[in-house]
Amino acid sequence: MLSISRIARDDPRYPDVLRAHLGTLAPAHLQWSGHEPLLTAPQLALFCSVHCPGAILSKTFDLANVLRQNLVAVMSGFHSPVEKEWFLLLQRSATPLISCPARSLDKKRLCAEERSLMAQKRLLLLNFGFAARRATREEALVRNLCMAALAEVVVVAYAAPGSMSAYLCQMASRWGKRVYSFADPDAPGDVAPGVRVLDVRELPQWFAGQGVISAT
């Protein structure tokens, strides 16, 4: 059985940024299990939709390899095919991971990789108040907005115009987050306003400049 902690929205430990950015959408409670200090560690929120152009796929793995070399906590739903590959790559490094399923942790069973990461104090499972076993599309969007609100940096590998990913980029940029995405070579002008075209070499340099990690 997982050891699960929970705090309500009126708890002093509840992250202020969730209330500030999400307003009435802020979760009524948070539920987590694992290495609790990761809740307040420097965080990078990582997203990739199910539908991702082939020209961008290789860049997503370059990104994962860069993140393996640094000690900023990487937060993701680790749900889409690319996100699952990121999880496999990042677990083979020293990178701390925050996995945010859009469903309750109450009946969660850890896989072998998750048990190993828990033993290494490198994994936090974080649920933003969802009680159901299966998330709706709307709940997944709220989960993603919560992750973006908590993180210092938001990386959306691909955000198609008019998509939920593009909306996520728009909101994170409005909140003053540093938002990155890869440009689609077939549509280079489609990067959303306020979003920086991602050069994977820039991320460790930026974090080093913030005093978060050492440049590699």
Domain count, the chain: 1
In a domain, 215, yes or no: no
pLDDT of residue 174: 93
Render pLDDT for 125-139 as a digit per residue (tens, 0 to 9).
999 998 766 667 888
Tell me if 201 is assigned to some domain. yes
pLDDT, one tens digit per residue, over 186-204 is 655 566 667 888 887 777 7
Q: Would you say residue 43 lies in a domain?
A: yes
In this predicted structure, the answer to whether residue 172 has a pLDDT above a threshold of 90 is yes
Report yes or no on 72 lying in a domain: yes
Q: Is residue 185 part of a domain?
A: yes
Answer yes or no: is 216 within a domain. no
The whole domain housing 105 covers 5-209
**Average model confidence (pLDDT) across the chain:** 86
Give residue 59's pLDDT band: very low, low, confident or very high (50, 70, 90): confident
CATH number at residue 114: 3.40.50.450
Residue 36 lies in a domain: yes
Determine if the pTM surpasses 0.85: yes
For residue 32, is pLDDT > 90?
Answer: yes
CA distances from 193 to 62, 70, 130, 152, 186 (A): 24, 28, 31, 19, 18
**Confidence category of residue 31, pLDDT binned at 50, 70, 90:** very high
Per the domain annotation, does 140 fall within a domain?
A: yes
